[in-house]
Structure 1
Amino acid sequence: MTKNRIALVVGATGGIGGAVARALVDRGWTVRGLNRQPEAAARKPGGEGIEWVKGDAMNAEDVIAAAKGASIVFHGANPPGYRNWQGLALPMLESTIAAAKAAGARIVFPGTIYNFGPDALPSVDEQSPQRPTTRKGKIRVAMEKRLRETAAAGTPVLIVRAGDFFGPVAGNNWFGAGIVKAGKPVTRISYPGRPEVGHDWAYLPDLAETFLRLIERADELAPFEVFHFRGHYFDRGIAIAEAVRTAIGRPDMKIGRFPWFAIYLAAPFVEMFRELIEVRYLWTERLELDNRKLVRFLGAEPHTPLIEALTEALRGMGCMPVALPRPVGTGLAVR
């Protein structure tokens, strides 16, 4: 059990960082959020209850000061808008490493599926080879290598890896860009992948709860520990879009194709689109995260029923219709 209940969350305005920060607050932790504009961050949805500290994740001295007295430093920072991963991702992580070392804290890090190339698919566990073929994947592998080195030098590290995510306050994500449009009632549903290819999704409150249960048992963890979070896996990837129809009470709504052609056309001019294209293979190949290690350790993986999770996510995103018809059926293939 962690006795010192002070945590610094780097990236607390993001999807995963924000969900973990709110879960920590709900558990009675003192949570600091690092942000260049703390007053604005405090006004954002989910920003309440967090002690906002002015600072830049690229500035190690800022992060070290914010982490003073903390037992946990959660690193949820990502380059904004998928831009300049090469120039930002590793330097921001180095700031977190310096801060955790100075505070004597454990680094908690959300892993991604970008680490895995096609050779590791379809079922991926903690020992699967990390041989990505993309620039972003290679950067993520380098980040985890750096964290392993950090743990070997005496600063403990916990990594929980999850797939694409959705939630009531989720920031930028595939669900709010590739399936529905955040900020308005759903009038159109699309799906970015091959309909019959399996895909893994994480509901952010469940993922955050998983982080918290592991943090609360930190004394039982190895210096460098990695767990995989399965979440909601769909044998038929398009089943999540079908479930959205159920959640909004529109089982007859057509599911359209994601406009990849437009992404390719605009890619020469938009860096974010080039990054999306690079990881498109994750929408054409089956990937299922194996969570058996996590289940053995915790006894069970936190899991909100799908329609309940989607309803809360869509409501938080401002996507639920004003008058919600009664749901009809599910049509799901989830296991």
Structure 2
Amino acid sequence: MSTSSRKLEHMQLCAQQQVESRKTGPGFEDVKLVHRALPEMDMDSVDISTSFLGKKLDAPFMIASITGGHPDTTPVNAALAEAAEETGIGIGVGSQRAAIEDPIQEESFSVVRDKAPNAFVYGNIGAAQVKEYGIEGAEKLVEMLDADALAVHLNFLQEAIQPEGDRDATGCIDAIEEICSIDVPIIVKETGAGISREDALLLKEAGVAAIDVGGAGGTSWAGVEVYRAKQRGDRISGHLGELFWDFGIPTIPSLIECRVSLPLIATGGVRTGLDIAKSLALGANLASAALPFVAPALKKGDSVKQRLELMFEELKVAMFLCGCPDIESLRTSSSVVLQGETLEYLDQRGFDIRDIELHSKLL
């Protein structure tokens, strides 16, 4: 199957099937924001604007990489980009590999910049492809979108399961370090299995500008591959996808793992403004999500914008109840309690919660 056809199939499955983690949650249920009964502020004055990698955003959120690479994905990316522009947030595109292989597919990506001329837009390519394309290829991807940043996605769980996957992970960190010399920031993002402290430190040493933890608990790309395997009668891929459906580090533990003094994006199971607030209180600079916007983007009208606006109202309520008038105070002054499986995970990994402050002022 061509890369272009596979991208369309992925989007359709995400819109039509249950592809979220089944047993592993992102960990938001283990995070308790300490309520301030006397917030001593006016909720109508809450300011959720922020900045990220030098770009001002009206809310600490991005629409994570979803699609592109097939003509039928062009209107979807257009709808997502229009919503990002109107709400003043960031947006990423799906892997641009299809456009490198077939330049006809470039419009399905460039439409994002056309519809969102002022938004923070990031390009996207897999780590395996970075080894192949190098600096010249990375610069072409940025030029395609007039991108503000380039994301390198790590998806070796999915690659290991799909029959056409690239399973050679050697040399990726060197390739990432090489492209960190281009003129835009490099974001490294996982796609649903999380990033450990060990790998976060490697990425920091390589010179990346930010890390998107992409934790387990949201969309399972192993799960997506189960549906693809069933369609083609692939018994082995189907078995592997079922076995590894919930594999990975959940979003909240991964967020703590990745606190290595780099800007962080919390992705993986973010579904509400309360999830955004919890992410920022634990050190994230932004949160992002993809799956909640796939079905709305396939509809006509303002469905994506309406979903975003609801999340941002939820965020404002959470900030008000924590006594935080702006994003900086949420990140540096809010109090957080961790419990349950997240606390147990962090304890076994050697993170002594008693000896660190959970908000980000010490990062």
Q: Same fold (TM over 0.5)?
A: no
Normalising to structure 2: TM-score of the pair? 0.32
Q: Which has the higher strand share?
A: 1
Normalising to structure 1: TM-score of the pair? 0.33
Q: Which has the higher helix share?
A: 2
Structure with the greater relative contact order (CA < 8 A, sep ≥ 6): 1 or 2?
Answer: 2
